[in-house]
Amino acid sequence: MNSLTRAIALGAVAVAFAAVGAAGVMDPRVFGVLAVVPVLTAWGWVSLVRPADALRMSFVLVLLANTKFRDRDAWASLDGSLDLQIALELALYGAIGITVTAAWLSQRRPHHRMTFGEMMPIGYSGVALCSTLWSVAPAMTLVRGVQAAILAGLAVMAIRQLSASGALRAACAALVRYALVCSAVAAMLPSTVLFNTEAAVFQFTWFDIHPITAGTLLALAALSLLVHGRSSGDVKDLRYFGMPTVVLVPVLCGLLVLSRSRGPLAAFLVAVVVLGILRSRWRAKYMLATATGAAALFVSIALLGGWSWSTASATVRPSAVEAFVLRDQGFDDFASLSGRRELWNDLVPFAARRPLLGYGYQAARALTLDAAAWAGHAHNAALQSQLDLGVVGVVMLAILIAMATGTLWRRAALACDHQHLGVAVFVLTVFLIVNATTSESFAGAPGFETALMFLMGIGGGRPAAA
C-alpha cells in the first residue's frame, strides 16, 4: 500500500512538473512566479524566528516597493496592466504581509488588547478596503486597500515588538540607508536616472521617481538624523556606512537643494526651526514650537489660496535666488504652483458630488488624469483624501495627525527618553503636514509616508508607560 501511495505521489509530482514546464514555455513569467514561492517561504521562516529583525527590514522593503525603476503610463494602474515593476511591488508587499503575520503569531500575548491609536490606522485601511464596493476603479482600490492594511499591520506590530521609539528609529534608519544608497547610485551611474531627461533644468533624483518624492525622502532622512542624533547622547556616535551625522546631514541637505523640490524644502526649513525651538532652554518652548508649526500650516494654506504675482513682475529679470526657485518657469506658472491651482479648481466640484465616502481609495486617479494629464494625484493631502474616502477619510487622518502632534504635550513632563520621542514625532509630523499642502503625501498611494504617519499616530496615542 505504501509503494502504491509513493507511486501515485511521484506520478502527481511528475504531472505537475510537466504542466509547469508546458506553461512556462508558453509564458516565461510562470517560472518567475514559481521562483518567488520558495523565497517568500524562506522569508516567512526568518520572520517567525526573528520577528524584530524582519520588521526592521520591512521598512526597507516598503521603500523598495515604491521605487519606480522605469517610466510607466499614467493610466496603466487603472487599466490593471501587470509588468515586472508591479510584480516586484506586489511581491515585496506580500513579504511584508508575511512578516506582519509572523510577528502577530510570535507575540507573547496573542490576544493583546488593541489601543485606540492602533484602531485608527486599521480602521482607516478597513474603510479603504470597503470603498471597493463603491469605487469607480474597484480593482485598483482593492490592491491599494490591501497595501494600506499591510502598512497598518506593520506599524502596529513594529511598535508592539520594538516599542514606539524603537519602531520610529528603525523606520528612520531604513530611510537614511535607502536615501544614501540610491543617491550614491544616481551620482556614480547617471544613466540610471530616468526622470524627465528633457527638462529645462536639472533636478536630482534616482531611477524614475519624481524629484518631489526624492526631495521628500531626502528631507525626512536629514530630519531623522537631526531628531535622533541628540537623543542618542553624542551626535558623532550615530553613524551610517561609517560616516558620522555631522557629515551626512550636510550631504543630504545639499541633495535636497539639488532636487529643487520647493515644497519639501520649505517644509524642511519649518521643521528645522521647530526642532531648534524644542532643543532650546526657553521655558515656553513647547508653546512656541506648537505655535510655529500651526502658523506655518496656516501661512501655507493662505498662500495656496490667495497669493499671486502681479503682471508687472513678469517683465522683471529675476535674481539668482529667484531663478533657482522658479526653475526656469514664468512668474505666472510659479504663482499657479505649477498648475496645481487650476487642478484644485477642477477637482473641487467632483469632491462636492460625493462628499461623504468619495470615489474609492486611490480611485480618484481617474478624475485627476481627466482634469490634467500630468496629475496622477490631487497634490494636496486633504483634497486627495476627500476625493478618495470623503469626509470619513479626512476625519480619520485628522485624528491620526492630532494623536501624533499631541504626543509632544503628553510626554513633555516625563523622562528624557519619552521627551525625545515626543520631539521626534512632533517635528516629523510638522514636516509631513506642511509638505502635504502641495503634495498628496500620506494620503496618496500607500508608501513610506503612509507607514510613517501610522507609526507616529499609534506611538503618539500610546500611554507613556507602554
pLDDT in tens, 2-16: 565 555 555 554 455
Most confident of 57-66, 102-111, 232-241: 57-66
4 occurs within a structural domain:
no
Of the listed ranges 45-54, 108-117, 188-197, 199-208, the least confidently predicted one is 188-197
Q: Which residues contact 242 (CB under 8 A, 6 or more apart)?
A: none
Give the H/E segment covering residue 431: helix 416-435
pLDDT for res 210: 86
Of the listed ranges 47-56, 154-163, 331-340, the least confidently predicted one is 331-340
The span from the CA of 95 to the CA of 452, in Å, is 19
Residue 246 has pLDDT above 80, yes or no: yes
At 306, the pLDDT band (50, 70, 90 cuts) reads low
Per residue in 341-391, pLDDT (tens digit) is 788 888 888 888 999 999 999 998 888 888 777 777 888 899 999 999 999
Helix axes 448-461, 381-410, angle to 10 degrees: 30
379 occurs within a structural domain:
yes
419 occurs within a structural domain:
yes
Nearest to 134 by CA among 355, 348, 352, 358: 358
DSSP state of 261: -
Sign of CA dihedral 121, 393, 445, 292: negative
pLDDT for res 401: 92
Residue 143 domain boundaries = 115-461
74 occurs within a structural domain:
no
The span from the CA of 238 to the CA of 375, in Å, is 39
pLDDT for res 356: 92
First-to-last alpha carbon distance for the chain, in angstroms, is 58
How many structural domains are present in the chain?
1
Q: What are the two backbone dihedrals, phi and then psi, of residue 240, each rounded to the nearest 5 degrees?
A: -130, 125
Q: Which residues contact 187 (CB under 8 A, 6 or more apart)?
A: none
Residue 242 has pLDDT above 50, yes or no: yes
Report pTM: 0.85
What angle (nearest 5°) sits at the alpha carbon of residue 458, between those of residues 48 and 287?
145
| More confident site: 461 or 449 | 449
Whole-angstrom CA distances from 424 to 221, 240, 271, 418, 456 are: 12, 19, 10, 10, 9
| More confident site: 201 or 57 | 57
Whole-angstrom CA distances from 280 to 55, 268, 276, 368, 415 are: 34, 18, 6, 44, 17
Q: Mean of the per-residue pLDDT values for the chain?
A: 80
Per residue in 438-448, pLDDT (tens digit) is 889 999 899 99
208 occurs within a structural domain:
yes
307 occurs within a structural domain:
yes
| More confident site: 402 or 22 | 402
Residue 176 has pLDDT above 70, yes or no: yes
Amino acid at 139: A
- Cβ density class 103-127: b for 16+ within 10 Å, e for less: bbebeeeeeeeebebbbbbbebbbb
pLDDT for res 466: 45
260 grid coordinates:
529643487
Query: Across residues 329-350, what is the average pLDDT?
Result: 69
The span from the CA of 109 to the CA of 105, in Å, is 9
Is the distance from CB of 465 to CB of 163 less than 8 angstroms? Answer: no
457 occurs within a structural domain:
yes
Query: Across residues 298-312, what is the average pLDDT?
Result: 60
DSSP output for 67-136:
---S---TTHHHHT---HHHHHHHHHHHHHHHHHHHHHHT-SSTTPPPPHHHHHHHHHHHHHHHGGGT-S
pLDDT for res 199: 60
Residue 190 has pLDDT above 70, yes or no: yes
50 occurs within a structural domain:
no
296 grid coordinates:
506655518
